[in-house]
């Protein structure tokens, strides 16, 4: 355990487990905003800056704040995750390579597949009058994104859905470890098969791209391919379904805001952006590479910092009335839900499209709904990515 830094304000805080985290992690974190930065002894000790400006400044300075560790406690993956745990200049090379893998034709295929999936799911759900939105809507949308990006054969998609459901940090550790192993074994096997074959001319999936691309004039090594593919799994499965689920919870609980959206469908992009800001699910980590200062507080070389992005995005000095979904907020500064600077999320465009499509399609057919009062236990979790386990909704089918 690291010694408590001199003159640090110390708070009893753990982003995995603090009061109120099982009902609303964002509100739970909001309660720690009274100081610009504090130290917690949890998990060996780390700093938590709480102001938008400081968090953004840290994200844009990879020289002073390294990405070598991306989670507290560490994920236990044997090598750095590519590209999220790399620093410049190495980071830039991989980032360029991976950017190619999620822009261009694959990006169009994913957005079309998501659009079709949202329409299909809503047509199926609307007449039922009730559903559990995490399992029935958010996770299937995320799985379509994922299986299209990876070009996973249809017969494997159910197995993948099971494995990825076991990945979040709140899942019991033995099940989680088994899922991690199954996923890395599967990826290693698929990458080897794809490398051994000539890629079909219309191939655009990530696995084939990694298997046949070059870096510095040489093919990627087996471990490099696997590490990049595995990070893309983590990047995709943790984040999107949580964001969609929290967004629907907010709209179910705030009828006036929801009605504004349903009567002004052209505002769906604005709503998606605000919902991302309100529920910035990711909590990033940085390590100071030298002694430095944040908000007049001395940070020592080697100290870890947790960048709780929802603390930045709900900072009242940056966003007045921060917990309200407002359709008239100025576009600047943009939110930090996808991070900022050199590591800003590579999937931001696709993820925003997915959330927008999910909202648009749903509200066209199911404009009013409430949270069902039944025996389902709704629980939220913190950690590297905030999550929501279930959200039962009910509505009257407007077509009846
Ligand atoms: C709502 C959904 C998503 C959220 C909130 C989100 C959030 C983030 C954040 C905050 C980072 C920066 C991490 C850091 O600076 O330490 C990040 C990085 C990344 N994300 Fe996402 N993400 C989402 C969806 C996706 C999707 C769908 C993909 C893939 C298609 C993806 C791929 C990546 C990759 C590859 C990185 C690493 C970029 C780098 O290190 O240069 N993300 N994401």
The string of DSSP letters for 1-54 reads -PPPPTT--B----TTS-TTTTT-HHHHHHTTTTSSEEEE-GGG-EEEE--HHH
Query: pLDDT band at residue 216, thresholds of 50, 70 and 90?
Result: confident
The whole-number average pLDDT for the span 117-127 is 97
Q: 348 CA distance to ligand 1 centroid (A)?
A: 7
Nearest residue CA, atom 21 of ligand 1? 345
Pairwise CA distance, residues 279 & 323, whole Å: 10
Query: pLDDT band at residue 2, thresholds of 50, 70 and 90?
Result: low
Peptide bond into 89 cis (omega under 30): yes
pLDDT at 165: 82
Count Cα atoms within 13 angstroms, Cβ side, for 255.
5
pLDDT at 220: 92
Q: 346 CA distance to ligand 1 centroid (A)?
A: 6
Helix axes 105-125, 90-102, angle to 10 degrees: 60
Q: Indicate whether 348 pLDDT > 90.
A: yes
DSSP letter at 134?
I
Q: What percent of the chain has pLDDT over 90?
A: 75
Pairwise CA distance, residues 277 & 336, whole Å: 7
pLDDT at 164: 84
Pairwise CA distance, residues 319 & 311, whole Å: 11
Q: Indicate whether 1 pLDDT > 60.
A: no
Query: pLDDT band at residue 203, thresholds of 50, 70 and 90?
Result: low
Give residue ranges with CB within 6 A of ligand 1: 67, 70, 83-84, 95, 98, 102, 145, 149, 231-232, 235-236, 239-240, 243, 281-282, 284, 309, 337-339, 343, 345-347, 350-351
pLDDT at 126: 96
* Average per-residue pLDDT for the chain: 93
Sign for the pseudo-dihedral over CA of 344, 238, 394, 26: negative
Nearest residue CA, atom 40 of ligand 1? 84
The per-residue pLDDT for range 290-340, each reduced to its tens digit, is 999 999 999 999 999 999 999 999 999 999 999 999 999 999 999 999 999
The per-residue pLDDT for range 43-70, each reduced to its tens digit, is 999 999 999 999 999 999 999 999 999 9
Q: Indicate whether 19 pLDDT > 70.
A: yes
Q: Which atom of ligand 1 is nearest to the CA of 355?
A: 1
Q: Hunting for tokens 């509505």 — which residue is that? A: 395
DSSP letter at 71?
S
Q: Which atom of ligand 1 is nearest to the CA of 285?
A: 16
pLDDT at 187: 95
Q: 300 CA distance to ligand 1 centroid (A)?
A: 28
The whole-number average pLDDT for the span 350-357 is 97
pLDDT at 157: 86
Q: 187 CA distance to ligand 1 centroid (A)?
A: 19
- Residue 50 class from Cβ within 10 Å (0-12 exposed, 13-18 middle, 19+ buried)? buried
The whole-number average pLDDT for the span 11-20 is 96
DSSP letter at 155?
G
End-to-end Cα separation, the chain, in angstroms: 62
Q: Quick check: 271 and 359 in contact, CB under 8 A?
A: yes
pLDDT at 398: 59
pLDDT at 71: 92
Q: Indicate whether 78 pLDDT > 90.
A: no
Q: 339 CA distance to ligand 1 centroid (A)?
A: 8
Q: Indicate whether 138 pLDDT > 70.
A: yes
Residue 321 backbone zone (phi > 0: left; psi -120 to 50: alpha; other: beta): left
Q: Which atom of ligand 1 is nearest to the CA of 231?
A: 35
Q: What is the chain's length?
A: 400
Q: 185 CA distance to ligand 1 centroid (A)?
A: 23
Q: Indicate whether 22 pLDDT > 90.
A: yes
User: H/E element holding 380?
Assistant: strand 380-381
Among 332, 334, 384, 313, which Cα is nearest to 52's? 313
Nearest residue CA, atom 35 of ligand 1? 346
The per-residue pLDDT for range 139-196, each reduced to its tens digit, is 999 999 989 998 888 889 889 888 888 877 667 888 988 998 999 999 999 999 999 9
Nearest residue CA, atom 1 of ligand 1? 240
Q: H-type helices in the chain, by residue range?
A: 25-30, 52-59, 90-102, 105-125, 133, 139-150, 157-165, 173-196, 206-212, 222-237, 240-253, 255-263, 268-278, 309-313, 348-365
Q: 136 CA distance to ligand 1 centroid (A)?
A: 24
pLDDT at 176: 84
The per-residue pLDDT for range 264-292, each reduced to its tens digit, is 999 999 999 999 999 999 999 999 999 99
Query: pLDDT band at residue 397, thresholds of 50, 70 and 90?
Result: low
Q: 170 CA distance to ligand 1 centroid (A)?
A: 20
The per-residue pLDDT for range 31-47, each reduced to its tens digit, is 999 999 999 999 999 99
* CA geometry: angle 114, 116, 119, nearest 5 deg: 110
Best residue for ligand 1 mutational test, from 82, 89, 347 (most atoms within 8 Å of Cβ): 347
Q: 284 CA distance to ligand 1 centroid (A)?
A: 10
pLDDT at 259: 97
**Centroid of chain to Cα 140:** 16
* CA geometry: angle 248, 389, 325, nearest 5 deg: 25
pLDDT at 213: 87
Best residue for ligand 1 mutational test, from 72, 274, 345, 357 (most atoms within 8 Å of Cβ): 345
């Amino acid at each position: 355990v690291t010694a408590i830094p001199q003159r640090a304000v110390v708070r009893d805080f753990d982003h995995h487990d603090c009061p109120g985290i099982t009902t609303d992690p964002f509100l739970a974190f909001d309660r720690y905003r009274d100081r610009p930065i504090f130290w917690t002894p949890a998990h060996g000790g780390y700093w938590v800056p709480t102001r938008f400006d400081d968090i953004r400044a840290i994200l844009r300075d990879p020289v002073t704040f390294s990405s070598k560790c991306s989670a507290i406690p560490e994920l236990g993956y044997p090598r750095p995750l590519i590209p999220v745990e790399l620093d410049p200049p190495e980071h830039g090379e991989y980032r360029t390579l991976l950017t190619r893998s999620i822009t261009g034709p694959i990006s169009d295929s994913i957005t079309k597949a998501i659009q079709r999936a949202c329409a299909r799911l809503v047509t199926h759900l609307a007449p039922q009058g009730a559903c559990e939105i995490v399992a029935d809507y958010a996770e299937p949308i995320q799985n379509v994104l994922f299986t299209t990006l990876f070009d996973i054969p249809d017969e494997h998609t159910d197995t993948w859905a099971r494995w990825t459901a076991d990945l979040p940090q709140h899942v019991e550790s033995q099940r989680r470890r088994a899922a991690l192993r199954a996923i890395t074994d599967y990826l290693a096997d698929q990458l080897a098969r794809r490398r051994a074959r000539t890629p079909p001319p219309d191939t655009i999936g990530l696995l084939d791209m990694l298997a046949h691309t070059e870096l510095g004039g040489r093919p990627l090594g087996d471990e490099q391919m696997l590490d990049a593919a595995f990070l893309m799994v983590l990047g995709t499965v943790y984040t999107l379904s949580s964001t969609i689920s929290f967004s629907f919870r907010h709209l179910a609980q705030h009828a006036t805001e929801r009605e504004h959206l349903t009567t002004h469908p052209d505002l769906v992009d604005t709503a998606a952006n605000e919902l991302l800001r309100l529920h910035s699910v990711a909590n990033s980590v940085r390590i100071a590479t030298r002694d430095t200062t944040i908000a007049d507080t001395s940070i020592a070389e080697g100290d870890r910092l947790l960048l709780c992005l929802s603390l930045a995005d709900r900072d009242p000095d940056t966003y007045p009335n921060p917990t309200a979904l407002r359709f008239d907020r100025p576009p600047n500064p943009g939110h930090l839900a996808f991070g900022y600077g050199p590591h800003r999320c590579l999937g931001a465009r696709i993820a925003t499209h997915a959330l927008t499509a999910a909202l648009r399609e749903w509200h066209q057919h199911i404009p009013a709904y409430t949270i069902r009062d039944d025996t389902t236990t709704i629980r939220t979790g913190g950690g590297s990515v905030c999550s929501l386990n279930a959200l039962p909704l009910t509505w009257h089918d407007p077509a009846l």
